[in-house]
Structure 1
Amino acid sequence: MAWSCSLKSFLTVFVFTIFAVGSVESYQCTSSSCTSESCPSTTDVCTATKGCFNQMQKFDTPSTATDQVLKQKGCFTDTCSDLTFSATLGDKRRFSYENKCCTTEKCNQEDITPSSSSEPNGVECTACYSEKEKSCSSVTTLKCTGNEKKCIEVTGMDLKSSNLRLYGKGCATENTCNLKMDVLSGVQIQASCISAVSNNGNRALKSISSAPIILLLLKVLL
């Protein structure tokens, strides 16, 4: 009798375990990777148990011929974190990154459209850009826009050769401070936030330059 009860208990646990494993939710995600603004219309699919991801990276330059785009979609097997940031450097260089995670059938199918704003936010940063050395021979002052309210210094190194790929300063979103990650299939960027440009010096220069004019007017009036 005891043996019969033990066997029934074992079978019950076994059947329950098989049912639990077999009932793990799974669904399909769009799977693709392309390096152009217009990705192929036909895409593959993958089966997900954790979720789908949708990622867009874009490096805008003064010429569309040198712009870089990387769009990736697929299933994530471990963890996935939403992340959006952007940085505008000197010489009209701007990098934007967005990664979205979702957990429904083909929820990553639509392409990500990067957002930007031209509305000044009152912050001004030193700006420059170089692909030859970790310094800039000439710098300008850049008026930051949108959510890019921090001044940044960034270095990009080639993952294979460890050679310099880029160096620059400019405006960036707050979450770029102390950021270190791989982007654009082979570049490791390391960023840190720096001090914004102060307007006090400009005000002082204006006051000094206007002093002789004020003295001259006083002499004329007196």
Structure 2
Amino acid sequence: MQILVLILGIVLLPKACALICFGCIPGLSGRCTQTTNYCPFSTRCGSIRVTSYAYGSKVADIKMKMCAVAEQCVGGSINFGVAQTRITSKCCTSDLCNFQDAPEGSISSPNGKKCFQCDGIDCTKTLKCNGNEDYCISTAVTVEGKKVTVKGCASKLICSETQSAQISAIIGEEINCCQGDLCNTVGLLLFVTPLISLVLFS
């Protein structure tokens, strides 16, 4: 009888002590079905939002809920001048506390940092960075079958080595970050790291 109680305790205790969070990660359609999940002890309940803008208009607004590690419970942005993406999060540590969406990121004030940005093939224009965008960034994207260089400002989250390699995998190009005004020009990268993630979820 004591062995049966011990086995039941081993099986049921993790679920009794684990955090329960809402989960909802949209597919390609942008829709998802909300579920409840038992989360590992090292995680929190998280609501994450990724909002993208082009020429001042919102072009994407992705809302997710999940078991989140501490590194996902932060905010960040990437700014190429004509296109910007902001990530916001709201994390908590009680059962089903992530029922609300993360807030939409707002446009921050300029922070004094400057990076190069590209206008077509001219990558000598200066971009004023906003809020927590304390890195300069440089990469290439494919537009209508042609590879185009893009440069701009990014926050530490975007350039962090602790994130996954999803963005690099999605665009198929290496992304370089550096610190220092106007450092994102060929030959002047002062501190180069691969951009490892914008969307934080695996």
Structure 2: any 5+ residue segments left out of the alignment?
A: 184-202
Secondary structure in 2 matching 1:113? coil
Q: Partners in 2 of 1:164 and 1:80 — Cα distance?
A: 38
Q: Is the 8 A contact 2:89 2:103 kept in 1?
A: no
Q: Partners in 2 of 1:97 and 1:129 — Cα distance?
A: 24
1:74 aligns with 2:56: no
Distance change >3 Å, CA 175–CA 72, structure 1 → 2: closer
Give 2:128's match in structure 1, choosing from 119, 143, 153. Answer: 143
Q: Is the 8 A contact 2:123 2:151 kept in 1?
A: no
Distance change >3 Å, CA 57–CA 165, structure 1 → 2: farther
Partner of 2:150: 168
CA apart distance, 1:86: 0.8
CA apart distance, 1:100: 5.2
Partner of 2:177: 193
Give 2:165's match in structure 1, choosing from 181, 191, 211. Answer: 181
Q: Partners in 1 of 2:102 and 2:127 — Cα distance?
A: 27
Partner of 1:56: 49
Partner of 2:196: none
Q: Partners in 2 of 1:19 and 1:190 — Cα distance?
A: 49
Distance change >3 Å, CA 74–CA 147, structure 1 → 2: closer
Distance change >3 Å, CA 173–CA 187, structure 1 → 2: same
Which has the higher Rg, Structure 1 or Structure 2? Answer: 1
CA apart distance, 1:96: 1.7
Q: Is the 8 A contact 2:119 2:125 kept in 1?
A: no
Q: Is the 8 A contact 1:45 1:74 kept in 2?
A: no
Distance change >3 Å, CA 122–CA 63, structure 1 → 2: closer
Secondary structure in 2 matching 1:23? helix
CA apart distance, 1:20: 3.1
Q: Which sits farther off after the overlay, 117-126 or 18-27? A: 18-27
- TM-score normalized with structure 1 length: 0.58
Give 1:95's match in structure 2, choosing from 82, 85, 101. Answer: 85
Distance change >3 Å, CA 109–CA 120, structure 1 → 2: same
Compare the two structures and name the one with the higher helix fraction. Answer: 1
- TM-score normalized with structure 2 length: 0.63
Give the number of aligned pairs.
170
Q: Partners in 1 of 2:146 and 2:48 — Cα distance?
A: 25
Distance change >3 Å, CA 64–CA 119, structure 1 → 2: closer
Question: Deviation per CA, 1:191-214, whole angstroms, max 9, x where unpaired?
Answer: 32235239xxxxxxxxxxxxxxxx
CA apart distance, 1:123: 1.2
Distance change >3 Å, CA 141–CA 28, structure 1 → 2: same
Aligned-residue sequence identity (percent) comes to: 23
The two structures, once aligned, show a CA RMSD in angstroms of 3.7
Question: Deviation per CA, 1:107-129, whole angstroms, max 9, x where unpaired?
Answer: 22111113345322221111126
1:128 aligns with 2:118: yes
Q: Partners in 2 of 1:20 and 1:100 — Cα distance?
A: 32
Q: In the alignment, residue 154 of structure 1 is paired with which amino acid?
A: T
Q: Partners in 2 of 1:107 and 1:70 — Cα distance?
A: 19
Distance change >3 Å, CA 108–CA 189, structure 1 → 2: farther
